[in-house]
Chain A
Amino acid sequence: MTRPEALLVLVLVMLACGRGGTADGPAASTGGTIVISSAADVDALVPPLITQASGRQVADQIFDRLAEIGDDLATVNDVGFRPALAESWSWSPDSLSIAFRLRADARWHDGRRVTAEDVRFTHSLYVNPLVASPVASSIQNIDSVTVADPRTAVFWYGTRTPQQFFESTYFLFVLPRHLLDTVPPARLRESHFARSPIGSGRFRFGRRVPGVSTEIVADSTNYRGRPNADRVIWVVATDFTTAATRFLSGEADVFESLRPEHLDDLGRRRDLRVQAYPSLEYGFVQFNLRDRGNRARPHPIFPERELRRALSMAVDREALVRNVFDTLAVVARGPMTRALAFADTTVAQLPYDTVRAARLLDSLGWRRGRDGFRTRRGVPLRFTLLVPSSSRARVRMAVLLQEQMRGIGVRTDIDQLEYGAFTERSRQRRFDAAFGAWRIDVGPGGIRQTWGTPGSRSPSGLNYGSYESALFDAQVDSALSSRTTSIGRAHFRNALETIVQDAPAIWMYEPRGMLGFNARLQPTRVRADAWWAGLADWGVSEPARPPPATVDTGGSAP
């Protein structure tokens, strides 16, 4: 099978999966084990301390939220949210409080009833400074939680915001007070609970061998129903090749990080499936508008808006993305991904037009010399691009981008740095340009920190390039305070148009998530922020372990 044929087959497989995923698979039954190959170990099992997706994958199964976000990831009011631990909720007339009514049959895995007191305790733990939860700042608008009766917890808010329901449900996993109220908050990470957590989710914690595996087992009497699989095991191999081989050889059933090089092989395999889903990550080449040696001074090149626009127009982003990611990414449209409910993909982009880019540079006084590179008043048009060496995609893209810059007379030096060093240099803002990537949260407020003025002026802000635009800030603020998704989207559209035209960065790529799974599994719809969100409902067609891998060279995927 040739590469194009394999790609075609893969696309067909993806389309088939997109229609529901169960139509062509065997009938699902209860039982069996799902083995997930993971390239990262679980970082923590106590929700307030979790910082990584690997930890969330497990915690999402063991613990419950009050309500679950909808598949469209809308965050305005309670639109699209589904009941989970709370069976219903009611808003106060002034919208400054929400009362959540817990399900009467909800139980912890040790048999105790889940009460409103647990909810109150959970909030107090999350915001306790001694716990230093990474999500504490995301729920700071929740002033307090009170107990109306054993089944009713009332959330009180400092101000009315469209995201207050989202913040109360998405970030908080309800924790058992009776097991944690005797644990000093500062020692939570060292507690017995941190090693062997007890939640109310549809899976119970099984066992964990740090660096090796984590296992959860079905809570067969769970109030929300027994999960289909008997148990789920995450096996860790921090070497990417090993983690991928585990999946491709049939030792593991699921692998979340497929790469373009796997496409050919997967197209030939009848025992493996792929499901594409939108991601919350985007990559960009960020220009530093301040001098990398002295932040008080402007950068010698990049403060000029027209120059940045010229550089953006010189890059054929479609070609770069296709070359590096094949079909596993699309061109980014700005600092937001298509998965978000607020995202507007119709925002006009700067075109790829090298002639116009060259003319623009000429008009700015940047003239080509004998060596083909441009200078202006003795200053060369030259910059260093920082790239994290751990990201093969970004390294490859940087090389291609260097060549395209050379085409319009701009000299680009690539400086590959180990990830920690790259992050540190970015945080210290000691760079000309940096090939960064953000994985954004479902809540759109983070954009203030990454591209807004607050993130630029705060020394600890994440707007490393120091782009500042009052218009952009105002539109973002308006969007975040909009009471409806449509109005919010309109404001975000204006904000995106502003930042795209100002070009503080070249918006490079938006990868697609590619979930690989064994054909004996029938995943539910995959959510952009958490492919594992419906894991308890995944069908498992047979309890036995999948057969050893066989590479089918003659057939094609159904």
Chain B
Amino acid sequence: MRIVRIALTRTLHAVVVVFVVVTLTFLLIRIAPGDPFTALLESPNVTEDVRQRWREAYGLEQPLLIQYAKYVAAVSRGELGWSLTMHRPVSELLAAAIPKTLLLTGTALLLSLAVGVGVAVAQARRAGSWVDRALSSVSLFVYSLPEFWLALMLLLTFSFWLGIFPVGGAADPLSASGTSGTTLEGLVDTLRHLVLPVSVLTLTGAAVFARYQRGALLDVLPADFVRTARAKGTPELSVLRRHVLRNALLPTITLLGLSLPALLAGAVFVEKIFAWPGMGLLAVNAVATRDYAVVTGVALVAGVGVTAGNLVADVLYAIADPRVRDA
């Protein structure tokens, strides 16, 4: 019952947050200098009359408040508008981009978690040893690397110099599908394109998880119940897995929820550099071209995604921690 109440409260908060995010995005992108047609039609031969007609075609000549009211009404009908640079419904563009971003960030998140927890366990078991110190240094180093720089270095090393992985995109443009395949060949092709962008997000993400998880493990290891479990003759691996890790995972679950925005933000740079056709690339291109409908649509989806992620983390936390669940 407590979990249901938590879920309902958090959902209400999430709706408010998404509404605020979308409203702010809607206003900020429009009050930024210039409009989509300023640069798009900047030619000595394009008359102001043409620019004005393009603005009218997209409703941009109307007062901001009316534009906003129309947008809210359209969103409530499930319409996210029309991309004025890609000449497609925003919902169609998002429908194509979201699975790509989920594939990228989801894979990266799972791998980050696995690698991060694994590294943390290895460190905690040998706390103070050279292994611990070395892994701490490496994770701190990776954590401090800017994602875009790391992405460029991997691109140059593995795509340009070594030629092992493709430079960008989600599929070989020469392949039969050109986007991504459902065949084994297509799957392998997608995986090849996924390796570098996932590596960037995983490396930086794993470093964060490792640092937090190590601290949590070291907090739990001296606890009485751990000593008791060992005294009862429970095998060390079992102690670690059943007693230590489960308790030490609580802060990581919180971090998991909190890391979603960072993961999406990181994906923006990574998708741009690796031309990965996900939401990040869509967003960064839309901002550059002042494609209002796409920017707001991406903000809406990202807002929903991040708040939903936090919601899931809260619920998971309640499930994992009886003190929260039963309070």
Contacts and interface: CB of A to CB of B under 8 A. Distances in A.
Interface in B143-195: 152, 155-156, 159-161, 163, 166-170, 173-174, 178-179
Given A33-B174, A242-B274, A245-B160, A211 B44 contact: no
B169 A235 contact: yes
Interface string A416-441: 01111101110100000000001111
Contact of A427 (B38, B54, B155, B178): B38
A134 B275 contact: no
Contacts of B160: 245, 248-249, 549
B66 interface: no
B40 interface: yes
A171 to B, nearest CB: 9
B129 interface: no
A238 B275 contact: yes
Contact of A441 (B39, B43, B48, B290): B43
Contact of B40 (A33, A51, A194, A458): A51
Interface string A28-58: 0000010100000101100001011000000
Contacts of B167: 237, 242, 245-246, 249, 251
Contact of A210 (B42, B88, B155, B161): B88
Contacts of B285: 41, 211, 238
Interface stretch (A374-382, A445-453, A494-502): A445-453
A424 B168 CA distance: 33
Interface in B264-307: 272-275, 277, 281-282, 284-285, 288, 290
A440 B44 contact: yes
Contacts of B87: 43-44, 49, 189-190, 194-195
Contacts of A186: 57
Given A132-B54, A194-B87, A210-B86, A446 B44 contact: yes
A441 B41 CA distance: 13
Contact of A447 (B38, B44, B155): B44
A209 interface: yes
Contacts of A33: 174
Interface of B: 32-34, 38-51, 53-54, 57, 82-83, 85-88, 93, 96, 152, 155-156, 159-161, 163, 166-170, 173-174, 178-179, 272-275, 277, 281-282, 284-285, 288, 290
Given A241-B152, A445-B45, 14 more contacts: A35-B174, A49-B87, A132-B54, A133-B50, A134-B45, A209-B179, A212-B169, A212-B277, A237-B167, A246-B167, A249-B167, A418-B33, A419-B288, A423-B39
Q: What 6 pairs across the A-B complex have the smallest Cβ distances?
A: A446-B44, A460-B48, A420-B34, A132-B53, A237-B275, A424-B33
Interface of A: 33, 35, 41, 43-44, 49, 51-52, 129-130, 132-138, 186, 189-190, 194-195, 207, 209-213, 215, 233, 235-239, 241-242, 245-246, 248-251, 417-421, 423-425, 427, 438-441, 443, 445-450, 455, 458-460, 462, 545, 548-551
